[in-house]
Amino acid sequence: MSVNDGLARRMRLQRLHRHDDGRLLVVPLDHPVSNGPIVRDGQLDRLVGQIHHGGADAVVLHKGALRTVQPRWFRDMSLIVHLSAGTALAPDPDARHLVCTVEEALRLGAHGVSVHVNAGSRGEGRQIADLAAVAEACDRWGMPLLAMVYARGPGVDGRAPAVVAHLAALAAELGADLVKTVLPGAPQAIAAVTAACPIPVLAAGGALADGPDEALRRLDDAMQCGALGVAAGRLVFTAADPAAMVRRLTSLVHDRAQAPLQRAGDPR
């Protein structure tokens, strides 16, 4: 990595971590590729605008979605371009393939990129290799990398503390700057996972089987136990008022911070 590339990465990370508390609220909107439309009226730009007005720090989008989104939303909110894709219709719904490059994301104006890995799945080897290759490209181009890592193998408990700690370690060891994953339920287990991980851990919003209030409670627990942020998409785009939901999440992530945190690799 050249000196200039190192500066570029630090500048982009600093933009992403725009709050002094070092915490992040990321709203992933990569779901249409996996599961189908998330806005039935086709008005993705309106949804991104609501997310912006709610105070999110970043939004995750696939490259094609950017054609319908106004650039004004990214004057202060960061854009993360998702590089992985796979559908629920595939013979292996846990398979993920790279569909965009770091260079392409740079041309699109991205402030960061993200890659999805389903550890324990049949395609784990390919996905890990893809994550490592993207990490190398991010080093070359000075681009922050968010790894979205889940345990999706047969018989694997994706919330087991040892499994989650392994997922976070995988992301850090292969060069990610941030890791999003589903955290354990017990506060002590969450604290152990976040303490062992040298990069910021973002708590995944997860499914809404128990309703949004219960999802928010779990995310609040995660923040109080060492998570440095939240990455919640479904919780936002299924809400009757997405902007109001983002404001609740913004308060949960930023307003309840006890004191500024600093970790190894903190851009500040």
Q: Could you report the per-residue pLDDT of 88-125, keeping only the tens digit for each?
A: 999 999 999 999 999 999 999 999 999 999 999 999 99
C-alpha 214: how far from chain center: 20
Q: So what's the pLDDT on residue 263?
A: 43
Mean pLDDT of the chain: 92
Give the predicted TM-score (pTM) of the model. Answer: 0.92
Q: Which of 73, 141, 150, 237 is catalytic?
A: 150
235 three-state secondary structure: helix
84: CB partners within 8 A, 6+ apart:
96, 97, 98, 99, 114, 115, 116, 127, 130, 148
Mean pLDDT of 180-204: 96
Q: With 80 as the cut, is the pLDDT of residue 265 above it?
A: no
pLDDT at residue 262 in the model: 41
150 classed as catalytic: yes
Of 166, 146, 163, 145, the C-alpha closest to 155 is 163
Tokens encoding 16 = 């992403």
The answer for 120, left when phi > 0, alpha when psi is -120 to 50, beta otherwise, is left
Burial of 101 (0-12, 13-18, 19+ CB in 10 A): middle
Question: How much is the pLDDT for 40?
Answer: 81
Give CA–CA dist 73/50, Å, rounded. Answer: 10
pLDDT attached to residue 193: 97
- Is 63 a known active-site residue? no
Residue ranges covered by each domain of the chain: 3-208+223-255
What CATH number should be reported for the domain whose range is 3-208+223-255? 3.20.20.70
